[in-house]
């Protein structure tokens, strides 16, 4: 009985239907591996999205190969020209639209680039499985998971630059630019890239703006607390700055 069952499985996966089933299922599993990490990281494009991308691209590759097989018997004089890679190339190009939807820009920061790149990569994984490249697709999936999971904690050994805009409003019209710069340098380890000073005549106030360059680990709470405690300071505001 067991032998009969094993023979049936062997015969099934040796058939065209079994091969298609194997490739689509494997594409779904590999897509789930990458998507699971994105899901755990709180991204909008997570497990289900990555599975659909991988399975869909696998199906496109199977269709491409099937069309090429259908017209393989045509003579070279025929006007019909079949390119098995055409559908695959459009699948990768079309992924740009879906990837763009995963990218969010706001408050001086860009989020979703890694997720978009992962979706593009998963498209390639699905195409590779559809073409029968099981080892290559599995290896790339493993590498992608390691890259996404391990390098998520890169802050432990790589500190990225952080740009911050600081706005300070003070009472009176006297120039306190040098005083504020001194407090900034004492409170945080940053570089003042530029500064501006504007007098609000009608309100009899002055508004100062600074762009600060520091590291991600820098804590600006001490700076804000210190500036708010200065005599004549009306307001202090911090905003994320854009990379320059």
Report the distance separating Cα 146 and Cα 159, nearest Å.
Answer: 20
Closest CA to 197 of 185, 206, 186: 206
What pLDDT is stored for residue 3 in this prediction?
46
Model pTM greater than 0.95?
Answer: no
What pLDDT is stored for residue 208 in this prediction?
93
Place of tokens 């005083």: 179
* DSSP-derived 3-state class of residue 110: strand
Decide if pLDDT at 70 tops 80. Answer: no
What pLDDT is stored for residue 12 in this prediction?
53
Assess whether 71 and 172 both reside in one domain: no
What pLDDT is stored for residue 210 in this prediction?
92
Domain that holds residue 171: 161-240
Task: Convert 131-142 into a string of H (helix), E (strand) and C (coil).
Answer: CCCHHHHHHHHH
- Residue 141 banded pLDDT, cuts 50, 70, 90: very high
For 146-179, the pLDDT digits (tens) are 888 877 766 556 667 788 899 999 998 888 888 8
Assess whether 130 and 228 both reside in one domain: no
pLDDT-wise least confident of 1-5, 53-57, 183-187, 226-230: 1-5
CATH number of residue 212's parent domain: 3.30.70.260
Decide if pLDDT at 64 tops 90. Answer: no
Assess whether 107 and 198 both reside in one domain: no
Strands 205-215, 161-171: pairing kind:
antiparallel
Q: How many CB atoms lie within 10 A of CB 48?
A: 12
Between 66 and 183, the more confident residue is 183
Assess whether 65 and 134 both reside in one domain: yes
Is residue 192 within 8 Å of residue 181, measured between CB atoms? yes
Please tell me the total count of domains within the chain.
Answer: 2
Assess whether 113 and 19 both reside in one domain: yes
For 25-34, the pLDDT digits (tens) are 999 999 898 8
Beta strand extents in the chain (DSSP E only): 104-106, 109-111, 161-171, 191-200, 205-215, 233-240
Report the distance separating Cα 180 and Cα 206, nearest Å.
Answer: 12
Assess whether 168 and 209 both reside in one domain: yes
Domain boundary among 156, 184, 219: 156
Mean pLDDT score of the chain, rounded to an integer?
A: 81
Decide if pLDDT at 117 tops 90. Answer: no
Mean pLDDT confidence for 14-18 = 72
Domain boundary among 104, 127, 156: 156
């Amino acid at each position: 009985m067991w032998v009969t069952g094993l023979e049936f499985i062997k015969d099934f996966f040796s058939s065209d239907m079994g091969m298609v089933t194997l490739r689509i299922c494997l594409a779904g599993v590999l897509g789930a591996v990458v998507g699971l990490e994105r899901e755990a990281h709180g991204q909008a494009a997570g497990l289900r999205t990555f599975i659909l991308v991988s399975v869909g691209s696998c199906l496109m590759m199977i269709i491409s190969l099937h069309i090429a097989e259908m017209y393989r018997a045509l003579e070279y004089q025929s006007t019909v020209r079949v390119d098995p890679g055409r559908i695959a190339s459009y699948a990768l190009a079309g992924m740009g639209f879906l990837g763009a939807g995963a990218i969010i820009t706001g408050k001086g920061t860009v989020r979703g680039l890694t997720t978009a790149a992962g979706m593009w990569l998963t498209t390639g994984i699905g195409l590779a499985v559809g073409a029968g490249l099981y080892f290559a697709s599995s290896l790339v999936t493993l590498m992608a998971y390691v890259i996404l999971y391990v390098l998520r904690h890169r802050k432990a050994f790589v500190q990225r630059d952080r740009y911050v805009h600081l706005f300070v409003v003070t009472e009176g019209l006297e120039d306190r630019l040098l005083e504020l710069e001194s407090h900034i340098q004492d409170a945080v380890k940053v570089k003042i890239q530029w500064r501006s000073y504007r007098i609000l005549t009608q309100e009899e106030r002055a508004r100062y703006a600074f762009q600060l360059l520091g590291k991600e680990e820098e804590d600006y709470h001490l700076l804000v607390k210190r500036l708010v405690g200065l005599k004549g300071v009306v307001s202090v505001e911090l905003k994320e700055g854009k990379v320059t």
